[in-house]
Structure 1
């Protein structure tokens, strides 16, 4: 695991760790698989989680632990169909970007910017869809 936590390269003055990069690349792959409704989404996401757990293990009691709590709340809200989950995910991203950069997980910080943009896109799409004038069609009425 030591070699996974070593520096892969430097980008924009930020040190990119192998574990941070590989775990997040698997996470982005799982996101793409989820869009395609692939059964491979879950094992790939699980692998990403294992790798990122190893990367963040030393910080779980600090800021990464607090961020994980907010993330669990966001996942719970989403699973329960709560509209507020958009705001919880936005909070995860707003908190995650600076925390990841501050704790040396620059690749996670960059990925959280992508996730934040996707949350804003999804939130906008949800907002527009929920505001459409949908008139119910009565049974037996001509279409």
Structure 2
């Protein structure tokens, strides 16, 4: 057998569950990307893209004949979305690092953009739920919520909006039970770990943001 094909189909058996190693490895890349995002380093984006490519093949279970044999079109579609938005975020952070020395400076989204986030979350969930229902996705409404929230959170990270961590919490709250029910246990466990990590990341970005605000305020007082 081709070694690459053997690695692609490698399985781990835990109790009565069959888990693909590429699901574990893809989620490992996701954790590494999240850590890089918290630390505001550019390599977070390409690492995340590698994980997205692996997880796409996992969530298109019926197409790639995984043990679950389910197509989660929302989960798979968001991997494709992640790649496109990650390319945008990668270029944004590279450009920012070259101009200011920092890949990203955390800040709150402007009020108008914050309102748009809420509106897009609501309308996107309704619209994508209809799309996923028509194509036969497993759990179209949770899938639509997760897909829309993931899009907004990734875009918010690219823009340096501290709120993006809060959007991830809303995504995890729906994603964990859905993935457990569907039998994607490594991904469900990742969501649990990621939920705690997101709270930590939010605190880190908020602290950096406040420090930057205090620095700019002090500088404004001392500048002639």
TM-score normalised to structure 2 length: 0.50
Q: Which residue of 2 aligns with 1:78?
A: 157
Whole-Å Cα distance in 1 between the matches of residues 42 and 155 of structure 2?
A: 22
Q: Tell me whether 1:99 sits opposite 2:158 in the alignment.
A: no
Whole-Å Cα distance in 1 between the matches of residues 174 and 12 of structure 2?
A: 25
Shift of 1:111: 0.9
- 8 Å Cα contact 1:15/1:106 also seen in 2: no
Q: Give CA-to-partner distance per residue, 1:8-63, whole Å, 9 cap, x none.
A: 1216x654232311211222233455548364x43332221111011112111434
- 8 Å Cα contact 2:153/2:167 also seen in 1: yes
User: Where does structure 2 lack aligned partners over 5 or more consecutive residues?
Assistant: 61-70, 74-131
TM-score normalised to structure 1 length: 0.73
**Count of aligned positions:** 139
Q: Which residue of 2 aligns with 1:37?
A: 41
Q: 1:21-36 counterparts in 2 under 5 A?
A: 21-32=24-35, 35=39
Whole-Å Cα distance in 2 between the matches of residues 33 and 53 of structure 1?
A: 21
Whole-Å Cα distance in 2 between the matches of residues 85 and 112 of structure 1?
A: 16
User: Where does structure 1 lack aligned partners over 5 or more consecutive residues?
Assistant: none
Q: Tell me whether 1:10 sits opposite 2:14 in the alignment.
A: yes
Which one has more relative contact order, counting CA pairs under 8 Å at least 6 apart? Answer: 1
Whole-Å Cα distance in 2 between the matches of residues 92 and 8 of structure 1?
A: 27
- 8 Å Cα contact 1:17/1:105 also seen in 2: no
Q: Which residue of 2 aligns with 1:59?
A: 72
Higher helix proportion, which one? 2
Whole-Å Cα distance in 1 between the matches of residues 13 and 175 of structure 2?
A: 21
Whole-Å Cα distance in 1 between the matches of residues 47 and 18 of structure 2?
A: 25
Q: Which residue of 2 aligns with 1:113?
A: 192
Distance 1:14 1:116, change over 3 A: farther
